[in-house]
């Protein structure tokens, strides 16, 4: 069963456009993930990704730390790891 199908439909973020899948965050990042994301995501989501990429590493980490505090269980890489990749920084 697709994980997206099991999520609560009244949560706005669960209604992803066709072709978008949740990342399991357990292995390496796919090569050219940004291009793949931009091709299958709505233009608004692609623009949000580009906005994060243009942020400073410190600013990105602050945003992800704020998201992390709002979750009951953060089952994802550390904000620093996500932001280093998202902002084009080496790890």
Q: What is the mean pLDDT of residues 36-63?
A: 87
Q: Lowest-confidence range among 20-24, 31-35, 40-44, 46-50?
A: 20-24
Q: Which has more confidence, 71 or 8?
A: 71
Tell me how far apart the alpha carbons of residues 89 and 81 are, in angstroms, rounded to a whole number.
Answer: 10
Helix axes 79-86, 43-53, angle to 10 degrees: 100
* Contact (CB, 8 A) for 48 and 33: no
pTM value is 0.53
Q: What is the mean pLDDT of residues 23-31?
A: 70
């Amino acid at each position: 069963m697709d994980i997206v199908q099991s999520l609560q439909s009244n949560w706005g973020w669960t209604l992803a456009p066709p072709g978008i899948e949740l990342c399991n965050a357990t292995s390496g990042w796919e090569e050219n993930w940004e291009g793949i994301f931009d091709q299958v995501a709505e233009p608004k989501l692609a623009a949000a990704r580009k906005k994060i990429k243009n942020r400073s590493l410190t600013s990105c980490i602050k945003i992800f730390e704020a998201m992390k505090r709002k979750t009951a269980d953060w089952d994802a890489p550390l904000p620093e790891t996500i932001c280093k990749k998202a902002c084009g920084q080496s790890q």
